[in-house]
Structure 1
Amino acid sequence: MPKIFIACDFNTEEQLWTFLNKFPPQSLFLKVGMELIYAVGFEIINKLKQHGHIVFLDLKLNDIPITVEKALQALKQYQVDFVTIHLTSGEKNIRISASGCARYFN
């Protein structure tokens, strides 16, 4: 069965839970992006994980390699399952990002 990520593009925690409560109690694949994170904060990730959800953090990390690596290291505390990294800064960023993901998310 294919896994489908549900976009949680809300700007309040109340809107998020009102939406999620429409689903049967089960682990869902959720895409959490900038809109929700900037509106309610990173703690929402911990709450979603406590409910057993799979979290795809879509913050579109895009910066110099060391900054992306430090961002990945900081995000480790939230135990996200997937992240987006825009690799327009080149091959070095690809290597460092892949290495960082292996170190911080496995």
Structure 2
Amino acid sequence: MPLIAREHALNDRSADHFARVLRDLPEIAAQLAAPPAGARLIEGHFNGSPLALLLAVPKADGWEVLALAVHPASRGRGVGGTLLKLAMSQLPGLSWPASLDNLATKAGLAGG
């Protein structure tokens, strides 16, 4: 079964929903607990369980990735790149910070 990307409504339980993904990423958990205005959250799930997340914020010409996290057991397997690629269809004009350029290149995406 492939990774499925869908929007997750940000709410006061979002950090708990992604607790396994974020268990070693407290800074991203804090961002979910108090998301920036207008932020959108894309969930990557596999077999009905959250496997990754992408938090994006609006910018003048689209969206910008604020955070990308993958479950620790699935890191290094292309999940982050796949989620980034899938999120592009849901977030027009999606760009990402330079820190994600290598991941994006591996996923076959042009510079963000």
Q: Which has the larger radius of gyration?
A: 1
- Which TM bucket (shorter chain)? 0.3 to 0.5
TM-score by length of 1: 0.34
Q: Judging by fraction of residues, say which structure has more helix.
A: 1
Q: What is the TM-score of this pair, normalised by structure 2?
A: 0.32
More strand by share: 2
